[in-house]
Structure 1
Amino acid sequence: MATKKIIAICQSGGEFETNKDDGSLFYTGGEAYALDLDHKTQLKDFKRELAETFQFRAAALSIKYFLPGNRKTLITISKDKDLKRMVNFFKDTDQVEVFVVAEEVDVAAPNVSNMPASRSSRTTVSAAAVPSDVPVDVMQTDDAIVLDEPIETTPLGACSFSNEDRHRRAATQWENIITGVDQRFNTFAEFREALHKYSIAHGFTYKYKKNDSHRVTAKCKTEGCPWRIYASRLATTQLICIKKMNPEHTCEGATVKAGYRATRGWIGNIIKEKLKVSPNYKPKDIASDIKREYGIQLNYTQAWRAKEIAREQLQGSYKEAYSQLPFFCQNIMETNPGSLATFSTKEDSSFRRFFVSFHASISGFHQCRPLLFLDSTLLYSKYQGTLLAATAADGNDDFFPVAFAVVDEETEDNWNWFLTELKSALSTSEQITFVSDFQKGIKNSLIEIFGNECYHGYCLRSLAEKLNKDLKGQFSHDARRLMVQDFYAAAYAPKIEVFERCAENIKAISIEAYDWVIRSEPEHWANAIFGGARYNHMTSNFGQQFYGWVSEVDELPITQMVDVLRGKIMELIYRRRLESSQWVTRLTPFMEDKLQLEMSKSRSFQVALAHTSTFEVRGGESVDIVDIDHWDCSCKGWQLSGLPCCHAIAVILCLGRSLYEYCSRFFMTESYRLTYTESINPIPNVEKPERSELHEATIVTPPPTKRPPGRPKLKSAESADVIKRQLQCSKCKGLGHNKKTCYRVNGVGVEEPETPILTVLGTEEPEGSS
């Protein structure tokens, strides 16, 4: 096909101005000239003709142009393929603007409107026709990058031009990363990395002829091109040296080929430094940055895999982290004497479980209420797994981490092991109340390990979910709402008669629901029947802040994840120790406020002595009996909370005694400070441990099951949940469908599909409960 020419209309002596509305640039003024141009025109010839026309030095010219539809971004033409690319970009366009600026003049960024008119010019190219068989060079840096999947590329010039043009800066620094014969490298990996960047900067593809641990030979992938390079180990040294190199290309920079590949490691190296500063660097942001800075289009999966490579380079291998567990456990107990850290493997030496409880947590728990919350959360790590945790409630009703474990999966056997280790760490004979989900096999393990030394309270939230799931039948929205509301009221009821009244309310709605409640072992969840002291804490996920920490670091290798959690607990202990040193009340601030609230209620009560230490307290129509010596009130508020109720306060004030003598010691500021007396010490060499021969002989491999596709469902935050309203048909008033999908046809009923019960996530606590 005959070569078709285009007419370049050149203008000089004008200036750039900025449109204030949209920031686009336009050029005004100057004189116009016409030049011939086609796809075979060489850049040096084009520059020479421009220099003669405008009286510039050809070597001093910098040529730029706008992409179609983009008047804000200037693209640089620095070599012949760039000039051809410009023509190809506009082969179907009538006009394109090209700006030529002398390099000795300081050129402002494109968004500056006062660009010097005397040293800049514009070339307007009327693209009459361009041969259709001319190949289009898509980009200068990477010609079809593949990371397990094809990666789309965009023109190099698509990035914004400024004094710190990122793409040009990258290309410039890599253009001379290989200098020629006698250049030395520390390793073959370093040489291959340099070769990769060099090819990106010069826009060509290559292939290996030899690539092993002794030598590397590479040639240009274009057939007939003489470019070659050969490197091998320098004699008597460990250095790698370039022995031969032919730097000449006859392929004009090598047209972009689909065979060119960028490894995940290369992208990982690019983002490694930013990932170090921003650990939560998201794959979508990685893809956006790589496209902007290097013109490479990544999809989400490719960016995610590149991040995995970069993270492993920074943090170490996931596999190596498992093998470091023997060293890690020993190091924890050496740096934090009194701590317990242990792990176990399966018969094939693969990881099974890891447990840790720091001495500061063990010591602090003995100053807290004997109340532990057991819960779990999935880990979003390479080999998934589950974190089991035991948290306590300190004197200010804040969570206090006691122990946690990482296990391959949540099973009854792993919970049994966790509770065994927990008992060994706490080494206490005091009766402990545990609050947990009732479906995880914890019940049998608690009986087996702690026996009569513990009480087991079921998580009320989990019970409400199961109640709604197990019941089959059709209930209106209001009926379901009232049923769950009565269930919660029954759980919080302090007296047996109130519990029975709430149960009867459920029975009036549904016999099935009532039977379910009776079979659900109320002695494990109803305040009126429960034998232990759970201080009105009815759900197991008390330590939501701790599980929030886990979700932030669960992508780290296991040893680093545990160490970051250790650091967060260490900071928590120090911060609370510092805060409590400023407290002036005998009770912690939260408990002091609760006591003052109860005191305000007691002012209108009348107290009468009944018998020795027993008093009768009247308030309105109610009459409550208070036994001051046994810290007992018929309203059960004193026993349930550990603080005197309003009736007890009325008696104590009447006797002229101090209220604080009748408050649980766990709520005293002194006890709170003792909780946070001990500190957690740092653990050195977590990332690069110096293991002994004994440790190296212990091999721990990752668990055999890897993470399934998709992100695991995260534990939902504790909140006041409601039952979602079910669809109701406006035609037949049935539930679970609307009039468009109504099962009634012309008023005649057909078999109605089963209406599913919506999952109950929980409900609001009854008014007045704590």
Structure 2
Amino acid sequence: MVEKKVIAICQSGGEFETDTDGVLSYKGGDAHAMEIDGQMKFKDFKLEVAEMFNCNLSTMCIKYFLPANKKTLISITNDKDLKRMIKFYGNSDTAEIYVVNEEIVAPDVSNMPGSRSSRTTLSEVPPADASPDMIVDDINEPGMPLDPTFDVVVDTNLVETHFDVPTERPVRTRMPVPISFVGFDEKDVKTSEQWLNIITGVGQRFNSVNEFREALRKYSLAHQFTFKYKKNDSNRVSVKCKADGCPWRIYASRLVTTQLICIKKMNPTHTCEGSALTTGIQATRSWVASIVKEKLKVFPNYKPKDIVKDIKEEYGIQLNYFQAWRGKEIAKEQLQGSYKEAYSKLPLFCEKIMETNPGSLATFTTKEDSSFHRLFVSFHASLYGFEQGCRPLLFLDGIFLKSKYQGTLLVATAADGNDGVFPIAFAVVDTESDENWHWFLLQLKTALSVCRGITFVADREKGLKESIAEIFQNDDVYHSFCLTHLSEQFMRDLKGQFSHEVKRLMVEDFYGAAHAPTPEGFQRCVESIKNISIEAYNWIMQSEPVHWANAFFRGARYNHMTSNFGELIQSWLSDAHELPIIQMVDAIRGKIMELIYTRQTESNHWQTRLTPSMEEKLEKENIKIRALHVLISAGNRFEVRGDTIETVDVDNCVCSCKDWQLTGLPCCHAIAVISCLNRDPYDYCSRYFTTNNYRVTYSQSIHPVSNIDGPWQKGSSQLAAVTPPPTRRPPGRPTTKKIGSQDAAKRQLQCSRCKGSGHNKSSCKEFLLE
């Protein structure tokens, strides 16, 4: 079968525009076309696109729109993304690709306008036949490489040199040169040439006094001089050159009845001849923010140490770490919005969620002082998909947030028919506490229309055991203890000194006891632990195995024993956890919206009755029946012989091995009996694993929340005022030390001579006694 090819229309150089409905359109730029298919590698694709538009590979981003969705741009970063895009456009002949590139071009130093000079000068004019090496010897440090793209190589901010001109003698020309051209590619060098004419003269107007001050800083940097304020308030700004005797002056004041600042007087002449050094340029936090803001859009993880390095290299200004950090924080707030403003908009944001996504639940609480306390969000598409298509199985987990006000994200997720993570609800709270989990479960019960028969997989700590039993006491729900949390607690509570190897063996036996389908198998595993430690055995027997061991658990877990289904949302938070609360919630909403659409589109191409992962599991069981022998019975119970002898009840979907009951898919013994009866094994699979049921899970859509970034106006109802929570992230770098599971993994010293623990052979007392 020949794979269909798609014509990719690649566009670059234009701009995205957003209409009132949030739909994006691309205007301007150039376009090229190329043919792609599923066999093309992303590396080759990106290289060819880069050659088309002469782009820098390191700064180029490739994006596209999903079919029928012009509101969200999807990035292509690897082979899987490229293949997925081609699959999405499988029914089309063309696909539109957008190339976003932050191209930074260095100025042509041979054609720069006049400006300030530095103290560094050349002692003499180089001869007409001087080679580049001779010039390097005069003005550069020995051994430094020469950039062949420049006529003059310097390691200072400015240089005075001579050019051959049609006059009787050489004429001195001053030109601003960015700091340290040496060793940098021309495309990577950013200069302040764009700010040379940011101040034009008398009559120029600015929207605010802050805008005028910012323009002054950029102008002084471009022209390589420093200034000082004579008057500086909200109505008047008077500035002079910092060099003594230099006549450069500028005076601006506010226009009456407006916020505009207008330049009233200006003397643009400098006579200081470079005596004002650039080391005195005012590198304020707002100026640093204006420099790094554009780069933060492309590189959200731009680090302060990199900001210090880049500004030193590009502008010749030495910042300290704190200046860079504060500048980055200001730039982030300008890009992402204010944390304080986000909390104040929270009431209307919740109303907008429920208005644009009917059937959703978005609610919050505040403390007595109106400060933020808790926020719960669950979208209708998630609730509908869970109730109509997913197994009655919910995983509860908490994710620590690294935002300005810290907090924790409480998450409830489900497993779809392909064993993929399906988000149901989440909440932002101050900490993972008994009270907050209780509140979260109350909201979850309110959001769900039916709760009967649900199995919760969650930690037994933090009040979850009591809250689940209390809130869902009349709904016949089950609570399965998460094996990961339980095993970590098991290791922490053991007081004996056990070696790393012994602890590992006990954890293996613990997991074996949990997965054992029969009480006999469970007992064999715990007896192995008992032989090592009576204390460990007693801990296990007192930990309520009815909540975690397959041999005794009464609910349906479909072989899911841990609650780590929140890892998908945790990966989403890697780029969103530092956003203000509204932007963070909306980023999660966008991820869920994209997830639903992507899986919905993928499932439309499936041709099997079951989802791919379940088809694979069923096929593995089907292979095993070759070694089995079925004894036919007149009733509905059959005996199947192989390595073991099992009894199968086809009518009740029961096998004595319990795999059928635990997974929802017929085991090999059941398939052997079903085949002997000339029936179809698919008819005995759980409906939750069918492709049709999977499509129902992802049949609803999540809609954008309108006006999230715009100025919201309060409606007729009086909305509560919300202020930021009182707790804030402590200063300094957060600790990376993990607790809990480290106790189980920490290796104990073990002597290779006497096999004892707590020492090695060099300090073995028994050996010394011998």
Q: Do Structure 1 and Structure 2 share a fold, with TM-score over 0.5? A: yes
Q: Is residue 594 from structure 1 mapped to residue 647 from structure 2 by the alignment?
A: no
In structure 2, give the amino acid aligned to 1:412.
D
Alpha-carbon deviation of 1:408?
A: 1.5
Question: Rg bigger for which structure?
Answer: 1
* Match of residue 310, structure 1, among 304, 316, 331: 331
User: 1:176 — aligned with what?
Assistant: 197
Structure 1 residues 357, 161: CA separation in 2 closer, same or farther (over 3 Å shift)?
A: closer
Q: Distance in 1 between matches of 2:428 and 2:165?
A: 61
Alpha-carbon deviation of 1:495?
A: 0.4
Q: Distance in 1 between matches of 2:153 and 2:628?
A: 90
Query: Residues 193-592 of structure 1 correspond to what in structure 2 (within 5 A)?
Result: 193-222=214-243, 225-235=246-256, 237-249=258-270, 251-256=272-277, 260-366=281-387, 367-453=389-475, 454-592=477-615
- In the alignment of these two chains, the number of paired residues is 638
In structure 1, give the amino acid aligned to 2:404.
K
User: Which of 1 and 2 has higher RCO (CA within 8 Å, sep 6+)?
Assistant: 1
Alpha-carbon deviation of 1:265?
A: 1.4
In structure 2, give the amino acid aligned to 1:474.
Q
Do 2:118 and 2:277's aligned partners in 1 also have CA atoms closer than 8 Å? no
- RMSD over aligned CA atoms reads 3.6
Structure 1 residues 614, 536: CA separation in 2 closer, same or farther (over 3 Å shift)?
A: same
Query: Residues 552-701 of structure 1 correspond to what in structure 2 (within 5 A)?
Result: 552-609=575-632, 612-620=635-643, 622-692=644-714, 698-701=720-723
In structure 1, give the amino acid aligned to 2:145.
R
Alpha-carbon deviation of 1:606?
A: 2.5
Do 1:206 and 1:218's aligned partners in 2 also have CA atoms closer than 8 Å? yes
Structure 1 residues 343, 534: CA separation in 2 closer, same or farther (over 3 Å shift)?
A: same
* Match of residue 146, structure 2, among 72, 95, 99: 72
Alpha-carbon deviation of 1:739?
A: 5.3
| 1:5-31 superposed Cα distances (whole Å, 9 cap, x missing partner) | xxxxxxxxxxxxxxxxxxxxxxxxxxx
In structure 1, give the amino acid aligned to 2:578.
E
Alpha-carbon deviation of 1:722?
A: 8.8
TM-score (structure 1 length as normaliser): 0.76
| 1:300-331 superposed Cα distances (whole Å, 9 cap, x missing partner) | 54433322211111111111111111111111
Query: Residues 69-148 of structure 1 correspond to what in structure 2 (within 5 A)?
Result: 69-73=143-147, 82=158, 102=164
| 1:584-620 superposed Cα distances (whole Å, 9 cap, x missing partner) | 2111111111112112212332223557322222224
Alpha-carbon deviation of 1:75?
A: 9.1
User: 2:208 — aligned with what?
Assistant: 187
Do 1:339 and 1:425's aligned partners in 2 also have CA atoms closer than 8 Å? yes
Identity %: 60
In structure 2, give the amino acid aligned to 1:690.
W
Q: Distance in 2 between matches of 1:680 and 1:243?
A: 55
Structure 1 residues 711, 624: CA separation in 2 closer, same or farther (over 3 Å shift)?
A: farther
User: 2:61 — aligned with what?
Assistant: none
| 1:496-523 superposed Cα distances (whole Å, 9 cap, x missing partner) | 1100111111000111110111111111
Structure 1 residues 743, 236: CA separation in 2 closer, same or farther (over 3 Å shift)?
A: same
In structure 2, give the amino acid aligned to 1:445.
S
| 1:720-741 superposed Cα distances (whole Å, 9 cap, x missing partner) | x99454322456654344456x
TM-score (structure 2 length as normaliser): 0.76
Do 2:411 and 2:566's aligned partners in 1 also have CA atoms closer than 8 Å? no
* Match of residue 125, structure 2, among 43, 50, 56: 50
Do 1:67 and 1:75's aligned partners in 2 also have CA atoms closer than 8 Å? no
Do 2:455 and 2:556's aligned partners in 1 also have CA atoms closer than 8 Å? yes
Do 1:577 and 1:676's aligned partners in 2 also have CA atoms closer than 8 Å? yes
In structure 2, give the amino acid aligned to 1:558.
I
| 1:422-461 superposed Cα distances (whole Å, 9 cap, x missing partner) | 1111121421111112222211111111115211111111
Q: Distance in 2 between matches of 1:646 and 1:594?
A: 11
In structure 2, give the amino acid aligned to 1:495.
T
Do 2:396 and 2:410's aligned partners in 1 also have CA atoms closer than 8 Å? yes
Q: Distance in 2 between matches of 1:63 and 1:696?
A: 75
Q: Distance in 2 between matches of 1:352 and 1:569?
A: 24
| 1:155-187 superposed Cα distances (whole Å, 9 cap, x missing partner) | 9345557766845x41x3323322332222121
| 1:87-140 superposed Cα distances (whole Å, 9 cap, x missing partner) | xxxxxxxxxxxx865489xxxxxxxxxxxxxxx9xxxxxxxxxxxxxxxxxx98
In structure 1, give the amino acid aligned to 2:125.
L
Alpha-carbon deviation of 1:355?
A: 1.0
Structure 1, unpaired ranges of 5+: 1-38, 85-98, 105-119, 121-138, 142-154, 750-770
Q: Distance in 1 between matches of 2:725 and 2:300?
A: 25
Q: Distance in 2 between matches of 1:232 and 1:682?
A: 44
Structure 1 residues 682, 727: CA separation in 2 closer, same or farther (over 3 Å shift)?
A: same
SS in 1 for 2:560: coil
Alpha-carbon deviation of 1:525?
A: 0.9
Do 2:179 and 2:313's aligned partners in 1 also have CA atoms closer than 8 Å? no
User: 2:19 — aligned with what?
Assistant: none
Structure 1 residues 628, 210: CA separation in 2 closer, same or farther (over 3 Å shift)?
A: same
Q: Distance in 2 between matches of 1:735 and 1:673?
A: 56
User: 2:11 — aligned with what?
Assistant: none
In structure 1, give the amino acid aligned to 2:616.
D
| 1:666-717 superposed Cα distances (whole Å, 9 cap, x missing partner) | 111111110011011112221224222568863211111111345657899x
Structure 1 residues 481, 201: CA separation in 2 closer, same or farther (over 3 Å shift)?
A: same
SS in 1 for 2:561: coil
Alpha-carbon deviation of 1:297?
A: 3.7
Do 1:377 and 1:714's aligned partners in 2 also have CA atoms closer than 8 Å? no
Q: Distance in 2 between matches of 1:62 and 1:231?
A: 44
Do 1:411 and 1:440's aligned partners in 2 also have CA atoms closer than 8 Å? yes
Q: Distance in 1 between matches of 2:646 and 2:767?
A: 63
| 1:461-484 superposed Cα distances (whole Å, 9 cap, x missing partner) | 111111111112222333222211
SS in 1 for 2:537: helix
Alpha-carbon deviation of 1:239?
A: 2.3
Query: Residues 9-20 of structure 1 correspond to what in structure 2 (within 5 A)?
Result: none
Q: Distance in 2 between matches of 1:204 and 1:560?
A: 41
SS in 1 for 2:564: coil
* Higher mean C-alpha deviation, range 584-593 or range 472-481: 472-481
Structure 1 residues 278, 516: CA separation in 2 closer, same or farther (over 3 Å shift)?
A: same
Do 1:380 and 1:711's aligned partners in 2 also have CA atoms closer than 8 Å? no
Do 1:64 and 1:75's aligned partners in 2 also have CA atoms closer than 8 Å? no
